Amino acid sequence: MNDHGHEHKAKEYQQKGVVPFWPEHFLKELVVGLMAVTVLFVFSIFVHPVLGHIADPGDWAYVPAPDWYFYWVENFFDVGGYYWSVLGLVQFDWVLMFLFPALGIAALYLVPFIDRYPERRLLKRPLMLGLLMFGALFLGYFTANGVYAHSTLTAQEPYNIFQSGCATCHYIQGLGGDQTGAIQTPTGQWIYPPDLSHIGSILSPAQIQAQLVNPKGGMPQLSLPPAAIKDLVPFLSNLK
């Protein structure tokens, strides 16, 4: 507590080449910490999270995406599930979906007991180096693959919606459409659903959206979910 004891300790620390935690080391930690918080603050000025449409459980058109650090989980189960069904192991799906993740978590917990090398340098611990590289490749591959799969899926989605919905009555570039949507007016004239191949140069995006939300001219009310409208408006606007 007293000044004399403190001075004595300071000299002792100096000889050993160490510093006391307070205040010497704490100040340095504080500088690093302030840098981290500044990074957080600056990032948050320039890039903001986006709030989508309010959750609608009936939205069949929405393609869900996990947070970036969970892509690998979703993609591992996706890819694994595909090969699992190819191999005819569907009845043992708990092996893929529970046992493998459980073993992975157990392995992570047991790292100190797997690593029996007396050495500390990673190059002299080949098994641990191998496990680390396996882990890095595993996470990297499934994350990249997950991001790619998701972007492919979202790019494909408007076309899928068109095929499963709009194409019943309309056609684009000679595909889809038949007489299903034809209606007869009271004067006996037939009105056919228009060809949408060039709809983007006929209607503005706002007009397309209005037509989808509140159809006019013989088109039935489809009660499209928000994600479907969000996908279809740019898709149709680009048909020029």
CB of residue 1 to another protein, shortest distance in Å? 7
Nearer CB in complex with another protein: 196/233: 233
CB of residue 235 to another protein, shortest distance in Å? 18
CB 214 within 8 A of CB 191: no
Q: Is 14 helix (H, G, I), strand (E, B) or coil?
A: helix
Backbone angles phi, psi at 185, to 5 degrees: -80, 165
Q: Is 25 helix (H, G, I), strand (E, B) or coil?
A: helix
- The residues near 83 (Cβ < 8 Å, ≥ 6 apart) are none
Nearer CB in complex with another protein: 76/162: 76
CB of residue 155 to another protein, shortest distance in Å? 17
Nearer CB in complex with another protein: 78/195: 78
Binding region for another protein (CB under 8 A): 1, 9, 13, 16-25, 28-29, 32-33, 36-37, 39-41, 43-45, 47-49, 51-57, 59, 62-70, 73-74, 77, 93-94, 96-98, 105, 108-109, 111-113, 115, 117, 119-122, 125, 128, 132, 226-227
Query: How far is C-alpha 193 from the chain's CA centre?
Result: 37
- The residues near 140 (Cβ < 8 Å, ≥ 6 apart) are none
Nearer CB in complex with another protein: 55/87: 55
CB of residue 124 to another protein, shortest distance in Å? 10
Strand ranges inside 158-201, DSSP E: 183-184, 190-191
CB of residue 117 to another protein, shortest distance in Å? 8
Query: HEC string of 122-133?
Result: HHHCHHHHHHHH
Question: Tokens 């917990």 label which residue?
Answer: 109
CA pair distance 152, 184, nearest whole angstrom:
41
Start-to-end C-alpha separation, the chain: 82
Nearer CB in complex with another protein: 57/186: 57
CB of residue 55 to another protein, shortest distance in Å? 4
